[in-house]
Amino acid sequence: MKVHRLLSIVMHLLTRKRVGAQELADLFEVSLRTIYRDLETINASGIPIVSYSGPGGGYEIMEQYHIDRQIVTLEDLNSVMTALKGLKSSLDDPELDKLIVKVGALITKSEQHRLDESGDTLLFDTNIWRGGHIDKTMVAELRTAARNRRVVSFTYINAEGRAEERLVEPIGLAWKGYAWYLYAFCRLRNDYRTFRLTRIKELKILGETFPNRGVTLAELDKRWGSAQEQHPTPLRLKFHPRMRVKVEEYFPREEIMELDDGYLLVETVHNEDYWLYSTLLSYGTDVEVLSPARVADELKQRAKAIFNLYERKERNSAPD
């Protein structure tokens, strides 16, 4: 529908500095000619769109322009409030409290009454850790350090349990799946790295500041996502029928096939890393690695190591 597309283009331009016509055409799956006509229509309606030619050119809405509250529905505002309250559960940030108040002020008393009567239909809570207050403090301190470009130091515990002292330039924070991560330039590695906050110990905000390296949080997030796919391994896994719920929660539906005996065959691609083996071990005897053989062998060796650990403990505790 043209009206819906026009409104979507306006919203897109309002949230971006400058956008090329081809990018808009690809986003809305229409021709360049259609985008040019849409931009002319938007301009004629009184929304000032400015075009720039040459490298880095494109279209943008004049900085002074803003949209009235009337274009945002009550459902839109309620969704924004829900998301903000969810963030507040893990962010100890007074500015966020002020933002919640500001957004709430856009909802009239009669609209608030309607929301109270209908009740909440969505709850978003990012704070699933134990010791949430400590974690909120860490998130707030790292956000402030990134905003003010202050160098931070901490002890970092990697997945194997080794501790290393790190000196980093924080860029920003990201919520990934079920945990917070710090994106930063690590002076030890002389490159950008991602740090899981639950593994950061003895955090210190230093007085030293660092210059802007010209890399955004969005760019680092894209790089992080690409890095996760550098060494994908095709896997064929066979699960016991009683694992159906867990399998369907973890793997996409198109990767799961039910066999005649009720067992589940999963054909997927996963990085061959610590998380893969930890996940497979968590299924115990309810999963069999059909291929590749090296993954099955590695899983067997890790299971043997666990068995040997308790065998030694049992021998050492046995009476003479």
CATH number of 2-61: 1.10.10.10
- Residue 42 has a pLDDT of 84
- Residue 186 has a pLDDT of 93
- Torsion over CA: 217, 177, 104, 92 (sign): negative
Contact predicate 299/289, CB 8 Å: yes
Q: What is the mean pLDDT of the chain?
A: 81
The answer on pLDDT for 69 being more than 60 is no
- Residue 256 has a pLDDT of 93
The answer on pLDDT for 66 being more than 70 is no
The answer on pLDDT for 33 being more than 50 is yes
Q: Where in the chain is the domain with CATH 2.30.30?
A: 132-227
- Give the long-range contacts of residues 144-147, CB within 8 A, separation 24 or more: 144/205, 145/170, 145/205, 146/170, 146/171, 146/172, 146/173
What pLDDT, in 10s, does the model give residues 250-287?
Answer: 888 899 999 999 999 999 988 887 778 888 999 999 99
Burial class from Cβ neighbours inside 10 Å (0-12, 13-18, 19+) for residue 139 reads buried
Q: Where in the chain is the domain with CATH 1.10.10.10?
A: 2-61
Contact predicate 60/50, CB 8 Å: yes
- Residue 126 has a pLDDT of 62
What pLDDT, in 10s, does the model give residues 200-244?
Answer: 999 999 999 999 888 888 888 877 765 554 568 899 999 999 999
Task: Tell me the C-alpha distance between 316 and 320, whole Å.
Answer: 10
The model's pTM: 0.55
What pLDDT, in 10s, does the model give residues 77-125?
Answer: 777 777 777 776 666 666 777 777 777 767 776 777 776 766 665 666 6
- What phi, psi does 61 have (nearest 5°)? -90, 140
Contact predicate 86/125, CB 8 Å: yes
- Residue 231 has a pLDDT of 65
CATH number of 132-227: 2.30.30
The residue with greater pLDDT, 182 or 129, is: 182
